[in-house]
Amino acid sequence: SEDLLLRPHSKTCTQEQLDYINQLIGRPWVRGAEGPEAFDCWSCAKHIEELFFGRAMPSFTDPPSALRALAKLIKHHEHRAKWQRVDQPVHGALVELAHVREAFHIGVWLNVEGGGILHCNQRVGVAWDTQLKLQAAGWRGFYYHDWIG
């Protein structure tokens, strides 16, 4: 809806967006799902980037079952040229997450309650977590990518 769409360089979420995020929390992870009833990590990030920021993202409706193969597919996709790696998170940035060095999970950084990552994982589905909470869960690498279109 038009109420949810932000300009690409906005600094935080609107109340309508926060309400929408709260409706998404807990929706299940399903490999290859495109939302809005179920997502995988990529489609959740894609959904938010398109709906909140108007950024077109590619679909991976039949992703490889191995997470590392999917991560490689995303890492080498031509769409990555529209994103620039940055040192600090910015509102709307894609965040790749890694347990060691190789990222195989993705979410969106939102400047909400001090900042955090909206993502979808197999264990809990759609979730919003602070980076500190994700670090406590074993995530060690956080790689931020800002839209340059």
Which pLDDT tens digit goes with each residue over 33-59?
Answer: 989 999 999 899 999 999 999 998 887
Which pLDDT tens digit goes with each residue over 110-134?
Answer: 998 889 999 999 999 999 999 999 9
Phi, psi of 98 (to 5 degrees): -135, 145
User: Hey, how many other C-beta atoms are within 10 angstroms of the C-beta on 143?
Assistant: 16
- What is the model's pLDDT at position 31? 87
- What is the model's pLDDT at position 56? 87
Kindly report the average pLDDT of the chain as a whole number: 86
- What is the model's pLDDT at position 1? 45
Flag whether pLDDT at 91 surpasses 80: yes
Cα distances from 104 to residues 89, 93, 107, 139, in angstroms, run: 18, 16, 11, 11
User: Does pTM top 0.85 for this prediction?
Assistant: yes
- What is the model's pLDDT at position 71? 66
Short-list 55, 54, 51, 57, CA closest to 19: 51
Longest dimension (CA), the chain: 39
- What is the model's pLDDT at position 6? 53
Q: Which residue has the higher pLDDT, 37 or 76?
A: 37
